[in-house]
Chains A and B, each alone.
Chain A
Amino acid sequence: MEPLEVLAKSKLSGKKTIAVMSAKGGVGKSLISALLSLAISSSNPTTLIDLDIHTMAVTKLFGLENKLHEVTKRGIEPFTIGNLGVISLGGVVKDKYVILSGSNNRSVMESLIAYSVINDVVVFDLPPGLGDEVLLLEHLTDFVPVVVTTPSKVSVKVVEYLVRYLTEKRKRPHLVVNMAYYDCEGGKKVRPFGDERAVNELVKKYGLEYTELPIDPLLEDYIGRIDKYDGVVKQKVIELARDLLKPRRDERS
């Protein structure tokens, strides 16, 4: 018997879990995880769990670097930002780099879930790729996948592996196309990656629901205080949060 696994499963039991994931790195998963969890927390107590244990980008986005989680009888207490709790390995190891092999990755991710104090809605920020993090979450809970890509053809092609995998597992990923366009004056959309053909083909092929997020250069000014950001990307993510919280087709039937 492994208490770690039992505890991790029990922590997620009966909770709404959303996994922000991508087969491709550098597409904005952590940023979207942060904005999405903030948006959801405005109506539901929410926990953001940073499973990207090697980069711990979430602590950088919220300005939580070098801060340690408090540990009480309840477990690892999240950092709190309003109604949002944030859990990251950064709150355990500070700025120490973490280099680990596969089975240890899994153990540490499972520990973050098992030993933390978690709210009713959980948003996971996953590392890029198709590895232990996906298998572990599948094992622990029935999560809603949010798959992130940019409109770049190479990104869309790589992300298709994950979409195909999730579809085969009878999950229905919601695709988020990050950095899809600039909102210019006069309501005109400019698409720096060219046309949307690659994304449209993926959406059609797998019957995906999807959300496009605009580019906002001002976002960079909010790294370290992402909870204060109130620009165009946030507005779109609020709409995404509403969609994700609605009962899904498979839940309704």
Chain B
Amino acid sequence: MHEWSVGEGILRSVIDWAKENNINSVKRVKVAIPSFTFLEADILKEAYDTLKKGTIAENSVLEISFKDPVFKCRNCGNIFTIREVINEVEKVKDEFGEEYPLHLMSGLAPAFIKCPKCGSNDIEVSSQEIMIKGVEVNGTP
């Protein structure tokens, strides 16, 4: 269900940006989502396609890509990927179910993911937020 809030955030961002730039119609919106959120692309698209009706983004297509953030331990300097801590993430999912904390708030990652080398929670996450990577508007190739 959280995908609906994410869809609303994406749509509002696009509409605000289009208004600021005097754009009347949007063709394509590209978003990047951290993989550990396990957001469902189909539900996010459904939400976006429902919410966009009647807006300047009505004819736009949402293009979703998932990014694997890189984690860096500030305690020991270890750099690691989601694959090395996937068991920890799965445990959290099992405990909380579908709306698990990292699904709702990607910023919580360091509270649930420990460095696999030293066990520290002092983790830096590269590109942990949902980002709009690009918008194509009508009139662009």
For the complex, give the distance between the alpha carbons of A94 and B125 in Å. Answer: 23
The answer to whether A3 touches B130 (Cβ under 8 A) is yes
7 cross-chain pairs, A with B, having the tightest CB-CB distances, nearest first:
A107-B107, A3-B9, A7-B9, A1-B132, A111-B105, A73-B4, A6-B13
A93 at the interface (CB under 8 A from B): yes
Q: Give chain B nearest CB distance to A145 CB in angstroms.
A: 25
Quick one: CB contact mask for A96-112 with B, threshold 8 Å, 1 for yes? 11111101111110111
The answer to whether B130 touches A71 (Cβ under 8 A) is no
Which of B52-60, B76-84, B108-116 lies at the binding interface?
A: B108-116
The answer to whether B107 touches A7 (Cβ under 8 A) is no
The answer to whether B110 touches A104 (Cβ under 8 A) is yes
Q: Give chain A nearest CB distance to B114 CB in angstroms.
A: 10
A75 at the interface (CB under 8 A from B): yes
A3-B130, A97-B111 known, 19 other contacts, Cβ within 8 Å: A1-B17, A1-B135, A6-B16, A7-B5, A68-B96, A71-B99, A72-B4, A73-B47, A74-B5, A76-B5, A76-B104, A92-B105, A99-B110, A99-B111, A107-B106, A107-B107, A107-B128, A107-B129, A108-B108
Known contacts A71-B104, A100-B107, A104-B108: A4-B121 contact under CB 8 Å: no
For the complex, give the distance between the alpha carbons of A115 and B12 in Å. Answer: 13
- Which residues from 1 to 53 on chain A have a C-beta closer than 8 Å to any C-beta of chain B? 1-4, 6-7, 10
The answer to whether B9 touches A4 (Cβ under 8 A) is yes
Q: Give chain A nearest CB distance to B86 CB in angstroms.
A: 19
B10 at the interface (CB under 8 A from A): yes
- A positions within 8 Å CB-CB of B: 1-4, 6-7, 10, 68, 71-76, 92-94, 96-101, 103-108, 110-112, 114-115
For the complex, give the distance between the alpha carbons of A7 and B122 in Å. Answer: 28
The answer to whether B105 touches A71 (Cβ under 8 A) is no
Residue of B96, B99, B122, B131 touching A1 (CB-CB under 8 A) = B131
7 A-B residue pairs with CB within 8 Å: A1-B132, A7-B8, A94-B96, A97-B111, A101-B74, A104-B110, A105-B107
B93 at the interface (CB under 8 A from A): no
Interface size class of B (residues with CB under 8 A): 35 or more
Residues of B within 8 A of A4 (CB): 9, 129-130
For the complex, give the distance between the alpha carbons of A108 and B104 in Å. Answer: 9
B101 at the interface (CB under 8 A from A): yes
The answer to whether A111 touches B121 (Cβ under 8 A) is no
The answer to whether B111 touches A98 (Cβ under 8 A) is yes
Residues of A within 8 A of B6 (CB): 3
For the complex, give the distance between the alpha carbons of A96 and B92 in Å. Answer: 11
Known contacts A76-B104, A107-B106: A71-B9 contact under CB 8 Å: no
